[in-house]
Structures are given as C-alpha cells and as structure tokens.
Amino acid sequence: MSDENKNEQNNPENLPVFRMQKMYLKDLSFENPNAPEVFARNVPNPKVNINLEVRNRKLDEENWEVSLGINVTIANDEEDKTMFIIELEHAGIFLLRNIPDEHMPMVLAVDCPALLFPFTRQVMSQVSVDGGFVPFLMDPVNFMALFENARQQQAEEAKKKADA
C-alpha cells in the first residue's frame, strides 16, 4: 500500500463512523381489554404472540432512522382471552459515515437494531408493569440470523423468478 493510500485511510475524515445520535418512541399503545377480570386469575403459562419488524429510512447523506416495530399479544392459554396487547415503534437516528456500500444493509439490519433493542426491551417491560402485570421480558433477538434468513429467502425467490 502506498504512503498516499495510508495517509488517506488514516485521515480522521475518512474513518468509518457509526453512532446513535438519538433514541425515541414513535408509537406506543397498551391495551388491557379484559380488565379487571383478567387480574382475578393467575396464569402460569400465557400464550405469547410476538411480531417484530425492522425498518430503516435515509434522512440525509449521513443519518438514518432505524426503528423496531413490535406487536405483542399475551393471552390466557386456557380460555384464549387477551390479557394485554402492546404495540410499540421504537426508533433511533444513526450517524453512518464512510461505511462502504456493501456493508450498509448489514449495519442497518443488524448493528443498529442490536444497539436499540435493549432499550426497546426495557420500554416493553415497564409498560407491562405499568399496566398491572409482571414485567414482560422479551427474549434476546439474533438480528444476524434474521438478516441471513431474509437474504436467503430473497435469493431463493430470485432463483424461482429466474427459473420461471
């Protein structure tokens, strides 16, 4: 590598930057449709239904908004009666500078959500407590596995279209 290339790479203006600038709630809804009757029973194994969506959009040349959309429905397993529903969109603004284009999909789908998720999990837990229930603790999410599965699905769909 030439000295000129080394100097260019070591220049602070050319180094990659990945930083969360701001974190915020975009949408939050808690429903307790069967209160107060739902509190009369101890439900040891409630039925949990979770939907998770990762979204991103470019705000300007260096800033991206990445959000986690989560819908959770907890129901009494025996009667299938809804205990509570939480709908949440939790977002962050991320400064992404000098990141190679080939790395951007993974940064947006894996790194940004992984940084945001612990805070999202805490919001979900606190909302369930404020609703009168025990803390709802979401299991950790493997964003890399979700990313790889989505890429594999896209590749399979592209292959099917090419074969058709």
H or E stretch at 114: helix 112-130
Q: In the prediction, which pLDDT does 101 show?
A: 93
The pair of three-digit structure tokens given for residue 124, joined into one six-digit string: 């979900």
Q: In the prediction, which pLDDT does 4 show?
A: 54
Residues 12-45: b if buried by 16+ CB within 10 A, e if exposed: eeeeeeeeeeeeeeeeeebebebeeebeeeebee
Q: What's the whole-number mean pLDDT along residues 128-145?
A: 94
Q: Look at residue 97 and tell me whether its pLDDT is greater than 90.
A: yes
Q: In the prediction, which pLDDT does 5 show?
A: 53
Map out the domains of the chain with their CATH numbers.
Answer: 14-139 (3.10.420.10)
Q: In the prediction, which pLDDT does 1 show?
A: 47
Q: In the prediction, which pLDDT does 105 show?
A: 95
